[in-house]
Structure formats: C-alpha cells, structure tokens
Amino acid sequence: WPESWGCWIKNGGPAQVAFVLKDVANQTVRVYIGLKGVQGKNSVATLKCEGARTVSVSLAPEEDKTVSLDLPAAEAADRLVVINISCDATADFRMSSGGKDFRTCGVGVRWVYACRDTDVLSRLAMVEAIALDDYVRLERQPPEFDFFLHT
C-alpha cells in the first residue's frame, strides 16, 4: 500500500521486501530498515531474513524507527536478500476515512539501505541520516554524463 513516505504492509503480514546486492562476495552485509508504527496502535514488528537473527521491535502509533540486520558473508558475488516483515496489530482505515479507504494495514516500511559491514563511510552516512532525520542524503543519484551523443 504505497504512501508518499513508503508503504504499509497488508494486514499483519508477513510482507516481503526483496532486492539483489551486487559484488558482495565474501562480505558481511548490514541492512538498515526504516519502519513506521501502525496507525493509532502500539505494535511489535518482527523482521526475519535468512542467516540473520530475528529482530522484534516495539513501535508506538506511527513512530518512525530504524532497525538493522547483519547478514553473514556468502560466496556468491550477487546476493538475493528477502526480508519478511510482520506485526501483531493492524489499523482498519475504513474507520479513519469514513469508509472511503478499505485497507487494513500493519506497520509501514519507509526505506531500506544496505552496505558492506566494513564500509565505515556508508555506516557513518546512515548515522548522520538518523541523527538529522534526513534520509534523502542516502538516495542513489543518477550518473552524470559529461558527453554529448548525437545520432
């Protein structure tokens, strides 16, 4: 369920967030996930990913919180990461929208950021983003082209 800040999970989940990391052979990876608490309810979100410890985190209503998962090194250069997210509470949006919005949603996923565990500069950038509440600084920028091609 997309919103301007991210996406709610449907019901209590589980929902899956999946992506491929390139060139991470034999590298431990840290994955940060920005969560948003359920509308109007306290909740506990649970995140599971193969090879990582299960993370359970308490969230106040609509609270923004960052969690991290440490993924052990694997031999493959390219790595598929699948994170299962579930929660113990849901919000029925029909109540808050006068019946116009039919969704029943759990926690929200605001963003995902992954880096090699040894990449101190990327990890520092994440600490700055959390401290300043400015995650735009972490967005991947399109490459700059310095040539002109005419066909």
Note the pLDDT of residue 104.
Answer: 82
For residue 115, pLDDT over 60 is answered with yes
- Hey, is 16 helix, strand or coil? strand
Q: Is the dihedral of CA 32, 55, 81, 104 positive or negative?
A: negative
pLDDT category of residue 101 using cuts at 50, 70 and 90: confident
Residue with tokens 């735009």: 136
pLDDT category of residue 145 using cuts at 50, 70 and 90: low
pLDDT category of residue 3 using cuts at 50, 70 and 90: confident
For residue 140, pLDDT over 60 is answered with yes
For residue 9, pLDDT over 80 is answered with yes
Note the pLDDT of residue 43.
Answer: 96
Q: What angle do CA 83, 62, 137 make, to 5 degrees?
A: 65
Tokens linked to 12:
């209590």
Distance CA 125, CA 102 (A): 38
Distance CA 1, CA 8 (A): 5
pLDDT category of residue 151 using cuts at 50, 70 and 90: very low
Tokens linked to 77:
């250069």
pTM, two decimal places: 0.84
- Mean pLDDT across 54-61: 97
Question: 20-40 burial string, b = 16+ CB within 10 Å, else e?
Answer: ebeebeebebbbbbbbbbbbe
As a whole number of Å, the CA-based R_g of the chain is 18
- Mean pLDDT across 106-128: 88
CB 63 within 8 Å of CB 32: no
